[in-house]
Amino acid sequence: MTYALHTTVNQPYAAVLGQVRAALADQGFGVLTEIDLKATMKAKLDADIAPQVILGACRPPLAYAALQAEPSIGLLLPCNVVVRAVDETSTVVEAVDPQMMVSMTDNPELQAVSDDATTRLRAALHALGGSSVEAA
């Protein structure tokens, strides 16, 4: 089973980050958390990495439905979306594959929620106009 959906966008990181937020919002996701990995690694380890951020995306109706089917599903929420600079002109965007919820819990009641979240995340990644959205 794959664990991520990804696309590569031929645009600089800063531009893509804003586009990702907008594409997620268009699909009904809000960003609950944001972790700037570049800043964190520099502050904690004095290590330099390429710009990279983790966005904790959540669509409340999906989260609620998932919690009704599997009370411990909060361990797998929110849906993490990573925006990572590859170089000055290309950026990778990855989202956790929501199908992982079903495979990790073995709870078929999560299938409809997982399918809806997958469709919405694929649409958000596709809207960025990068390479085809692939599972990894």
pLDDT of 80 reads 96
List the chain domain ranges: 4-135
**Residues 85, 49 contacting (CB under 8 angstroms):** no
pLDDT of 135 reads 74
| pTM over the 0.85 mark | yes
Domain 4-135 annotated CATH 3.40.50.720: no
Q: For residue 59, give the nearest of 7, 95, 108 by alpha carbon.
A: 95
Positions of the chain with pLDDT under 50? none
